[in-house]
């Protein structure tokens, strides 16, 4: 039985896809990138665009093999089961049953109660990862209920993976992958639901002590829960010099309307603390335009904030009404204004990215060599600069490099021979 999986969305979804593929392999199936017998679309629903991409993936699968079984799983169908029915799929597996999807699809569901840990989402584990940098899921769900976000409704409240279980997986996966990325729906909440409670810093401390670890990176971090101890790990050479913060906005009125816990002063202070600890740290972020009630004064404050922070990378997205949220029925009428603001932020993002990369011309950095592309070996440095190396170097290794040129936002580097 040949299985093909389309994955939409976040690092957590990508980890879960890896776990599903490994489970199918253990049950005698074959994972393929070509025509398959069963297609699985692991959906995302964070925005309307994500919904649309999920739908497109279903249609691509149907076109590639009309006789194949179609399976839709994940966040979109947790609250929108009709999504799959309208497209004529064979199986609709909501997020809370994703970990037993292979048993259901292969007809083993009659004995599902005998499947080890079938009620326990953390029984979905991995032995390796499809990329040379490996994602490890350690937390799921969110308690924040931001007014624009439906994720707490589809993934539930925050729940953390046992620390021993995480460490066991990191030990196993780090033997094959030089960079480990800890990820979660709201990673900063890790450990708060465990008795006795833990913190993300506690977990990081133990992961950094694993002998086989190459280097460690964290996925998106809610600023409100970032501790001084977590920032202090920037002094550890194995801890990647990079934080990604979902700022969303740079104005207190808008942040309050978003039901965000943070205010701009906290953001400023957090960035300052991080740069005091490591002046070369990369700060990347998410920012939104078009939030309901956004006025010129709010947007000016956002631009001023970004000019202070100068993120090296910005994920810019427009507000999207989501089911069950406060603004579900909101009609977006100022599309032209939103588009103009989007382009302002995009130009800022390009400017900040170039400024940051130029700081490292001629400097020694370390990249994980990930893939070959158009005659180059590409990979990310510890401070999240994607570099392109012309020379032949092995994949999956941490390589010392020196950036010698930046051209059209691409950083070209040469390996350093010690």
- How far apart, in whole angstroms, are the C-alpha atoms of residue 24 and residue 222? 34
C-alpha to C-alpha distance for 171 and 35, rounded to whole angstroms: 35
DSSP annotation string for 280-347: T-EEEEEEEE--TT--HHHHHHHHHHHHHH--SEEEEEE----TTSTTTT-----HHHHHHHHHHHHH
Write the CATH number of the domain with boundaries 364-415. Answer: 2.40.50.140
> What CATH class has 126-240?
alpha beta
Q: Is 243-259+270-359 CATH 3.30.750.200?
A: yes
Kindly state the tokens that stand for 397: 């290794």
Which stretches in the chain have pLDDT values below 50? 111, 118
Diameter over CA atoms, the chain: 62
CA 314 to chain CA centroid, nearest Å? 14
Q: Indicate the pairing of strand 282-289 with strand 242-248.
A: parallel
Q: State whether residue 418 is helix, strand or coil.
A: coil
**Given this model, what pLDDT does residue 200 score?**
98
**3-class SS of residue 147:** coil
Does the fold of domain 126-240 match that of domain 2-114?
A: no
What global pTM score does this model have?
Answer: 0.95
The residue extents of the domains of the chain are 2-114, 126-240, 243-259+270-359, 364-415
Cβ burial of 237 (10 Å; 0-12, 13-18, 19+) is exposed
β pairing state of 215-218 and 179-184: parallel
CATH code for the part of the protein at 2-114 = 3.40.50.12160
**What's the pLDDT score for residue 119?**
54
Strands 410-415 and 398-407: antiparallel
The set of residues, in sequence order, having a beta carbon less than 8 Å from that of 12 and lying 6+ positions away, is: 135, 137, 140, 183, 184, 185
Instruction: Kindly give the residue spans of alpha helices, DSSP state H, lying in 87-212.
Output: 101-105, 151-155, 163-173, 200-207
CA triple 119-124-129, angle to 5 deg: 170
């Amino acid at each position: 039985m040949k299985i093909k999986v389309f994955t939409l969305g976040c690092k957590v979804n990508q980890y879960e896809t890896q776990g599903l593929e490994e489970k199918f392999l253990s049950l005698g199936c074959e994972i393929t990138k070509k025509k398959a017998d069963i297609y699985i679309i692991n959906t995302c629903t964070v925005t309307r665009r994500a919904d649309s991409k999920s739908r497109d993936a279903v249609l691509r699968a149907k076109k590639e093999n009309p006789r194949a079984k179609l399976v839709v799983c994940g966040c979109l169908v947790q609250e929108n089961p009709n999504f799959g029915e309208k497209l004529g799929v064979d199986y609709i597996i909501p997020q809370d049953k994703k970990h037993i999807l292979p048993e259901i699809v292969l007809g083993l569901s009659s004995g599902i109660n005998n499947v080890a840990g079938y009620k326990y989402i953390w029984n979905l584990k991995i032995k390796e990862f499809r990329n040379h940098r490996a994602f490890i899921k350690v937390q799921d769900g969110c308690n924040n209920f931001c007014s624009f976000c439906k994720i707490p409704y589809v993934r539930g409240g925050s729940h953390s993976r046992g620390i021993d279980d995480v460490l066991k997986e990191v030990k196993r996966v780090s033997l094959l992958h030089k960079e480990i990325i800890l990820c979660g729906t709201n990673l900063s909440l890790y450990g708060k639901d465990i008795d006795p409670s833990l913190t993300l810093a506690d977990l990081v401390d133990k992961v950094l002590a694993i002998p086989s670890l190459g280097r460690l990176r964290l996925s998106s971090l809610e600023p409100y829960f970032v501790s001084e101890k977590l920032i202090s790990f920037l002094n550890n050479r194995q801890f990647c010099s990079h934080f990604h913060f979902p700022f969303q906005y740079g104005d207190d009125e808008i942040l309050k309307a978003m039901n965000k816990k943070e205010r701009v002063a906290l953001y400023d202070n957090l960035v300052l603390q991080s740069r005091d600890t490591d002046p070369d740290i990369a700060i990347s972020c998410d920012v939104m335009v078009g939030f309901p009630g956004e006025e010129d004064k709010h947007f000016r404050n956002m631009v001023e904030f970004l000019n202070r922070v100068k993120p090296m990378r910005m994920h810019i997205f427009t507000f999207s009404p989501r089911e069950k949220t406060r603004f579900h029925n909101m009609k977006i009428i100022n599309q032209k204004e939103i588009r103009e603001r989007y382009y302002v932020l995009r130009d800022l993002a390009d400017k900040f990215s170039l400024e940051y990369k130029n700081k490292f011309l001629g400097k020694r950095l370390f990249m994980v060599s990930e893939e070959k592309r158009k005659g180059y070996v590409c990979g990310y440095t510890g401070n999240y600069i994607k570099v392109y190396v012309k020379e032949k170097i092995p994949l999956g290794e941490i390589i010392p490099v020196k950036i010698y040129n930046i051209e059209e936002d691409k950083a070209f580097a040469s390996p350093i021979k010690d």
